[in-house]
Amino acid sequence: MYTTVLWDVDMTLLDFLAAERYAIGECFRIFELGECSDEMLERYSVINRKYWEKLERGEITKQETLEGRFREFFASEGLPVEKAEDFNAEYQVRLGDTAVFCPHGKEVVQYLHKQGIHQYAVTNGTQTAQKRKLANSGLDQVFVKAFISDEIGYEKPDMRFFDVVLQELADCKKEEILLIGDSLTSDMRGANNAGLTCCWYNPEGAVNDKGVRIDYEIKDLIEVEQLIRERV
Average pLDDT over residues 134-151: 97
Residue 104 pLDDT > 90, yes or no? Answer: yes
- Residue of 130, 124, 180 lying closest to 152 (CA atoms): 124
Instruction: Looking at 31-143, list the stretches that DSSP marks H as alpha helix, in order from N- to C-terminal side.
Output: 38-56, 62-77, 84-95, 105-114, 127-137
Assigned fold of 4-15+99-230: Rossmann fold (3.40.50)
Q: Which amino acid is at 191?
A: A
Confidence check: pLDDT of 230 > 90: no
Give the per-residue pLDDT at 232.
61
CA max distance for the chain: 56
Of 10, 15, 158, 182, which one is the catalytic site residue? 10
Is 97 an active-site residue? Answer: no
Annotated domain spans of the chain: 4-15+99-230, 16-95
86 is catalytic: no
Query: Residue 214 and residue 208: Cα distance in Å, rounded?
Result: 9
What is the pLDDT confidence band of residue 90, given thresholds at 50, 70 and 90?
Answer: very high
**CATH classification (class only), 16-95:** mainly alpha
Distance in angstroms (rounded) separating the CA atoms of residues 123 and 133: 12
Q: What is the pLDDT of residues 24-61, one digit of tens each?
A: 999 999 999 999 999 999 999 999 999 999 999 999 99
Q: Which residues pair with 4 in a beta bridge?
A: 118, 177
Q: 21 exposed, middle or buried (CB, 10 Å; 0-12, 13-18, 19+)?
A: middle
